[in-house]
């Protein structure tokens, strides 16, 4: 925010996200009122269309009939040219009886959907995340969420109909549920509770938070975790994870914070070697060395989160935007349903 801008100034891109999430929530409520369940692919297309013209998106021709729609490759790019990439898969939060469920275990002809998402994010070398569609306020009114966000229950937050969470957070929650189902009673207190609303929806954040000005990390758990895990040679990373970031770095920090918050609650005693990556000159990674901490996620989570922070947009982004009909490489369309570019 510049000194000339009023205190309540909202950047056009943030207004676009507020407009799009409100439209998606309104449409979900409209469909529910007719006893029609909303679907991931339809809401994703609606959401992206309402982001225009501040945001650009391209929907690819589906290359694999076994794919489930809703996997969009998002790139946030700022005026410095730096960009952050994330592969986002849409998931509907279903009301089932007295409870709720999220179909993480959906299986296609080529394997589990969660595994496919992570594999595709490895192909693009970006973070994997989920976008959750949770209907309108009436639909969410019976959610058993007791946690508060700045004084408001998580399902009552502005923008709660469309939220986002790194896939590793969701994967860890699913694994905790599996362990609880098979663990002896004596071990249950150490595993914590499991409810898809408490453990997933509570940690997911409104998508509009990614463009909201002035929001900073104030979570003491992740801040303490960074202090413990970032060695003396990680000054650049320490700077990135300090509140006050803007542009693509703010989005990268936001996602890394979500992983660190969950990692901070684990008993991780091993000191693992740093992860080193190869650099390329165009669109290369900002960080070539990152901590090897896994935080019980099964992979080095700093590397997973921050491999998407680049010095520039990959070449395929401009090619796809310039000529969607023939500028999209076949490999790109095989791993994603569309491309979204957010100009910060």
> Which pLDDT does position 54 carry in this prediction?
96
Q: How far apart are CA 256 and CA 58, in angstroms?
A: 27
The per-residue pLDDT for 220 is 73
pLDDT score, position 280? 44
pLDDT at position 261, please?
86
pTM: 0.86
| pLDDT given at position 311 | 94
**Structure-token pair, residue 326:** 């023939």
- What single string gives the DSSP state of each residue in 135-180? --HHHHTT-----EETTEEGGGSTTTTEEEEEHHHHHHHHHHHHHH
Q: What integer pLDDT is reported at residue 198 of this predicted model?
A: 61
Contact partners, residue 22, CB within 8 Å, separation at least 6: none
Spans of the chain below 50 pLDDT: 1-6, 64-66, 68-69, 109-111, 188-194, 279-282
Contact (Cβ atoms closer than 8 angstroms) between residue 199 and residue 173: yes
User: In this predicted structure, what is the pLDDT of residue 37?
Assistant: 95
The per-residue pLDDT for range 31-67, each reduced to its tens digit, is 999 999 999 999 999 999 999 999 999 988 765 444 5
pLDDT at 182: 62
Phi then psi for residue 9, to 5 deg, are -65, 130
């Amino acid at each position: 925010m510049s000194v000339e801008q009023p205190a309540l100034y909202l950047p056009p891109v943030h207004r676009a996200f507020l407009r799009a999430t409100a439209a998606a929530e309104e449409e979900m409520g409209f469909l529910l009122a007719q006893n029609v369940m909303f679907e991931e692919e339809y809401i994703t297309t609606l959401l992206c269309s309402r982001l225009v013209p501040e945001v650009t998106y391209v929907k690819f021709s589906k290359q694999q009939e076994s794919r489930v729609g809703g996997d969009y490759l998002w790139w946030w790019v700022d005026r410095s040219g730096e960009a952050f990439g994330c592969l986002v898969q849409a998931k509907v939060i279903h009301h089932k009886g007295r409870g709720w469920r999220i179909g993480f275990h959906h299986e296609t002809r080529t394997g589990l959907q969660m595994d496919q998402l992570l594999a595709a994010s490895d192909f693009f070398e970006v973070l994997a995340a989920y976008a959750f569609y949770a209907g309108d306020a009436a639909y969410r009114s019976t959610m058993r969420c007791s946690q508060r966000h700045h004084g408001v229950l998580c399902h009552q937050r502005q923008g709660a109909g469309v939220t986002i969470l790194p896939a590793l957070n969701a994967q860890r929650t699913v694994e905790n549920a599996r362990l609880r189902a098979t663990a002896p009673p004596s071990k249950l207190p150490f595993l914590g509770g499991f409810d898809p609303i408490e453990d997933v929806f509570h940690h997911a954040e409104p998508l509009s938070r990614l463009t909201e000005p002035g929001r900073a990390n104030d979570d003491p758990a992740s801040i303490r975790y960074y202090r413990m895990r970032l060695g003396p040679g990680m000054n650049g990373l320490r700077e990135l994870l300090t509140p006050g970031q803007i542009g693509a770095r703010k989005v990268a920090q936001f996602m890394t914070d979500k992983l660190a918050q969950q990692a901070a609650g684990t008993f991780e005693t091993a000191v693992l070697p740093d992860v080193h990556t190869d650099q390329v000159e165009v669109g290369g990674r900002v960080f070539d060395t990152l901590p090897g901490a896994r935080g019980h996620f099964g992979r080095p989570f700093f590397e997973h989160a921050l491999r998407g922070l680049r010095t520039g947009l990959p070449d395929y982004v401009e090619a796809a935007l310039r000529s969607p009909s023939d500028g999209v490489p076949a490999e790109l369309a095989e791993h994603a349903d569309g491309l979204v570019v957010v100009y910060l």
